[in-house]
């Protein structure tokens, strides 16, 4: 895989002097068009062998193009706050929005590769990391991102020569550290592991691009040209509105044949009297409070996710939880239509940004499941998009679980009749009237479609690591206590 | 994930009597349309819990539809011949062609799941198998296959009840074995592992479909309806010619900036005199023969893959290899345009069928690399297709390597001038004239495109486990000896 990058590619001074200004101008042009049209984000990973000019390339791209539309991220060791979140969290936070270019100098490949080289992991565990990366990158390209994965390569001899040259020159000597020589001793191992990584992650949608790093002029023109060609191609394709197929090729979801489904199977006659409710509320709020002050609570974090039809009682239930918690340690995220900033990112981005650190609680009032509920039912996204979302959401939640984040998902189920009763009540009571909108009545008309979407959602995303709790919510008292109980049980289990 | 399949779904006798004939007729209709249009193959996996009616469903589908267009495969323990090939070999052999339905009763999921349940593997190794399955299924769906993955489910209680019922009835007692009860004891473990498998492999293109297996009428209608809806949807889509985008979204391949590339970098002045050649030929043919009679040779197998421009000397080189081997143990596969049968399958299928068993040698005269050479250059497949092929080919070769199959890949490189000299020579010599066709002259006009495709191919598929050997072939003697030497070295390394 590295053969072509060991041939000794070179560009002479005269050619470079002629080509460089043309390339810069063309790059500025496509960058401007990208920034104007905001069709897709560009993600550039700069990886490779030490001394192959990774840093120089990053600087050069910033120099050649308009740096206001470039975000450069030098990803070193994760910080304390980053270590408290899933591994990919810091990369999610750094993703460029549509119209911008994000350069990752040190990327999601860096640590899996280095761990393997230094013998801290084996091939199987490297492959496991690579598969996670593949899923992540597939999600990004499915969401429209252009990913350029540039691998700067040097042959073993050239790397040695280069390090010696840098050391000889007093002006550059500081750049060669003991760590560089230590890495050099591992060259063969590093090459082998890198080859494995490149082989497993060169896909049709985001292949690796290997560039020989020996000659400064060659590698500069090579990377610049790759970037130019890729941007030009994608911008042209966007103009022709060449889109992914809207209809999925998969089998359609299973229809209900016998009128029985998860929501209908719920026993909505379950009720609590006001007196019992108040007693239980005190009991479980007290319990939740105690749990939240348990010493081990600082080693986990909680996400409580609420979904349910309009007027199902999400707000009231959430208040019964927060009532038991210290306001400094929880955060409520009400999820409405995405903001402009959020629309410029993959749909999961706006949830990733709110992942709590250890010892904290985040409560989502509506969640990432909007993708497979409202967006599906209202046709806000294509069938292919919501069909792939189940798997993407499972991946997301698996990453949460891997970092000891307890995820409790609640669907508050009310009957159609009960919803109507509550709507009418809201109309009557002045201070509740603002809670009822035209949209609520519109959504109500699609009751059956929503029910079907909910059942499909539970079937595909209720898992051992992140089960759904279906809450019989025709009686608010019963619902609130069931939610508090479930949450307490999940936390107790984890402590 | 199994919630909906534990609700106790049922269909009453009267409804069934009304629905079943309609379903059968509709199924026969879509099956006929599929067989006529031959647009895509249908792959049905029937998996799930013991006693949930997997066997009955398979029989029923064969009864309801035209069994001439259905191929049913009950995959048990692999046979001796199958164990000598990569794990997926037997599944490749069993893939249905376009227009047919293949039912796998026992699939590529069976053993990874059972190994995990019985504790013969851990989660990481299960995940590894699942990721390989994902790649395999993605390749199939990218090639147009409709994959239906049906999971027949029973709750723990129902499974117990069912086994007891079967045991009570003298007519069905024979069906309940000690193994069934042993499996039952592992129900919880099995459920957990299955959930993991389903969660990791439910993708947007081929999601799992979970069906409750308690009630015979319900599960029959459910599976039949799923199949009907899926076929109907895909047949309609095929009519609307809704195709995948032809142009890849990926960055274009790197262009050569300095006129230097792998083929130009070869030293074509290397020559052998006739005398030296004959001496060396004797030496290395003797060596190859000895190696092929080494006791350990029975534990490996060899694939030698030849590619090169027209008149590069592939045939002559192959004869120098076979000259050293026992005719009973090798096979030459000349690869021309695919046959009708082969065109009805994914493009790698026709190579999988020739994977040698242990102790054997298979020589391919042209190979699976046609996908990224002639098919790319001549536009026989879309950009998206050949772009994904590099990864698919690497996966394929990794599977070969995992079963101790030595893969030696040779690109025979001649200069454009040397090719012209050979073409002219062929025109002159009577018995060689048949070797030169109009097509050879046409291909020659695209020399530069082919060279570029070769360089891209080597860059993306020359790996530690399956390296390319570029052979300087302007001198036939030199080329043949280099090939023999390389092959001997690869075999020696493996023994």
Nearest chain A CA: its distance from B203 CA (Å): 6
Which residues of chain A are within 8 Å of residue B223 when distances are taken between CB atoms? none
pLDDT score of A242 more than 60: no
Per-residue confidence at B430, pLDDT binned at 50, 70, 90? low
Q: Is the per-residue pLDDT at A434 higher than 80?
A: no
* Strands annotated E in A199-264: 208-212
- Chain B CB within 8 Å of residue A239 CB: no
B157 SS3 class: helix
Closest residue to B463, CB basis, from A1, A233, A251: A1
Which of A115-119, A211-215, A258-262, A445-449 shows the lowest mean pLDDT across its residues? A258-262
The single residue listed with the structure tokens 């000896």 is B481
Averaged pLDDT, B176-184: 83
Is the Cβ pair A207, B387 closer than 8 Å?
yes
Domain ranges of chain B: 3-239, 274-494
Q: What residues contact residue A371 under an 8 Å CB cut-off, 6+ apart? A: A347, A381, A385, A386, A389, A393
Token pair 């709507």 is found at A423
pLDDT-derived band at A245 (thresholds 50, 70, 90) equals low
Please indicate whether the domains covering B3-239 and B274-494 agree at the CATH topology level. Answer: yes
Question: Nearest CA of chain A to the CA of B169: how many Å?
Answer: 28
Report pLDDT digits (tens) over B352-406.
Answer: 999 999 999 999 999 999 999 999 999 998 998 999 999 999 999 999 998 889 9
Backbone angles phi, psi at A146, to 5 degrees: -100, 120
Contacts within 8 Å (CB) and 24+ apart, A113-117: A113/A190, A113/A193, A113/A194, A113/A197, A116/A193, A117/A186, A117/A189, A117/A190, A117/A193
A211/B257 touch (CB, cutoff 8 Å), yes or no:
no
B188 pLDDT more than 70: yes
- A428 to chain B, minimum CA–CA distance in Å? 38
Sign of the dihedral defined by the CA atoms of residues A183, A185, A187, A193, in that order? negative
Choice between A28 and B432, residue whose per-residue pLDDT is larger:
A28
- Compare CB distances from A258 to B10, B204, B234 and report the shortest one's residue: B10
Which residues 126-155 in chain A show a CB within 8 A of chain B?
Answer: 127-128, 131, 141, 146, 148
Contact A20, B479 (CB under 8 A): no
Q: What's the CATH fold of domain B274-494?
A: Rossmann fold (3.40.50)
Q: Report the distance separating Cα B490 and Cα B408, nearest Å.
A: 7
Homologous superfamily of the B3-239 domain (CATH): P-loop containing nucleotide triphosphate hydrolases (3.40.50.300)
Quickly tell me which residue has 């695919």 as its tokens: B338
pLDDT band at A115; cut points 50, 70, 90: very high
Provide the token pair at A271. 């009720």
Among B196, B229, B248, the residue with its CB nearest the CB of A204 is B248
d(CA B198, CA B200): 5
Q: Is A3 on the interface with B (CB under 8 A)?
A: yes
Tell me if chain B has a CB within 8 Å of the CB of A387.
yes
Partner-chain contact B225 A199, CB within 8 Å: no
Indicate if the pLDDT at residue B250 is higher than 80. no
What mean pLDDT value characterizes chain B?
Answer: 91
* Distance (Å, whole) CA B363 – CA B380: 25
pLDDT classification of A319: cutoffs 50, 70, 90: very high
A to B CB pairs, distance under 8 Å? 204
Q: Which of A82-96, A252-266, B277-291, B361-375 has the lowest mean pLDDT?
A: A252-266
Residues 92 through 131 of chain A touching chain B, CB cutoff 8 Å: 124-125, 127-128, 131
pLDDT band with cut points at 50, 70 and 90 for residue A248: confident
pLDDT of amino acid B302: 96
Q: Which of residues 418-457 of B touch A (CB under 8 A)?
A: 455
User: A254 vs B206: CB contact, 8 Å cut-off?
Assistant: no
């Amino acid at each position: 895989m590295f053969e072509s990058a060991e041939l000794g590619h070179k560009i002479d001074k005269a050619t470079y002097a002629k080509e460089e200004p043309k390339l810069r101008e063309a790059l500025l042009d496509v960058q401007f068009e990208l920034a104007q049209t905001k069709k897709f984000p560009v993600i550039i990973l700069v990886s490779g062998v030490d001394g192959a000019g990774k840093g120089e390339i990053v600087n050069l791209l910033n120099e050649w193009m308009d740096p206001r539309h470039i975000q450069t991220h030098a990803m070193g060791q994760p910080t304390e706050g980053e270590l408290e979140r899933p591994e990919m969290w810091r990369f999610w936070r750094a993703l460029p929005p549509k119209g911008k270019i994000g350069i990752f100098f040190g990327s999601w490949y860096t640590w899996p590769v280095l761990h393997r080289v230094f013998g801290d992991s084996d091939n199987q565990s490297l492959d496991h990391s690579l598969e996670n990366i593949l899923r992540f990158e597939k999600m990004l390209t499915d969401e429209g991102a252009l990913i350029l994965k540039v691998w700067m390569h040097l042959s073993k001899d050239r790397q040695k020569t280069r390090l010696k040259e840098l050391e000889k020159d007093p002006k550059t000597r500081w750049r060669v550290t003991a760590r560089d020589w230590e890495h050099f001793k591992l060259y063969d191992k590093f090459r082998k592991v890198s080859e494995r990584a490149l082989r497993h992650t060169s896909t049709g949608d985001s292949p690796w691009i290997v560039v020989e790093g020996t000659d400064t002029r060659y590698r500069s023109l090579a990377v610049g040209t790759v970037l130019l060609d890729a941007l030009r191609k994608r911008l042209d394709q966007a103009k022709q509105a060449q889109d992914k197929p809207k209809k999925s090729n998969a089998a359609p979801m299973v229809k209900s044949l016998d009128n029985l489904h998860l929501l209908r199977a719920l026993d909505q006659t379950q009720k609590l009297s006001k007196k019992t409710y108040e007693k239980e509320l005190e009991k479980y709020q007290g319990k939740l409070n105690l749990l939240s002050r348990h010493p081990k609570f600082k080693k986990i974090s909680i996400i409580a996710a609420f979904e349910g039809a309009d007027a199902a009682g999400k707000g009231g239930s959430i208040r019964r939880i927060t009532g038991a918690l210290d306001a400094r340690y929880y955060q409520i995220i009400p999820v409405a239509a995405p903001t402009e900033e959020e629309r410029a990112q993959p749909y999961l981005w706006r949830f990733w940004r709110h992942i709590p650190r250890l010892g904290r609680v985040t409560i989502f009032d509506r969640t990432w499941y909007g993708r497979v509920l409202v967006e599906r039912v209202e046709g806000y996204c294509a069938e292919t998009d919501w069909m792939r979302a189940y798997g993407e959401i499972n991946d997301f939640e698996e990453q949460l679980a891997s970092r000891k984040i307890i995820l409790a998902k609640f669907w508050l189920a009310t009957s159609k009749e009960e919803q109507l009763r509550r709507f009418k009540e809201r109309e009557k009571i002045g201070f509740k009237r603002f809670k009822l909108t035209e949209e609520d009545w519109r959504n109500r008309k699609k009751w059956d479609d929503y029910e079907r979407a909910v059942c499909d959602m539970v079937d595909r995303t209720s898992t051992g690591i992140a089960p759904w709790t279906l809450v019989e919510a025709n009686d608010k008292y019963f619902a609130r206590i069931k939610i508090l109980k479930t949450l307490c049980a999940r936390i107790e289990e984890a402590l």
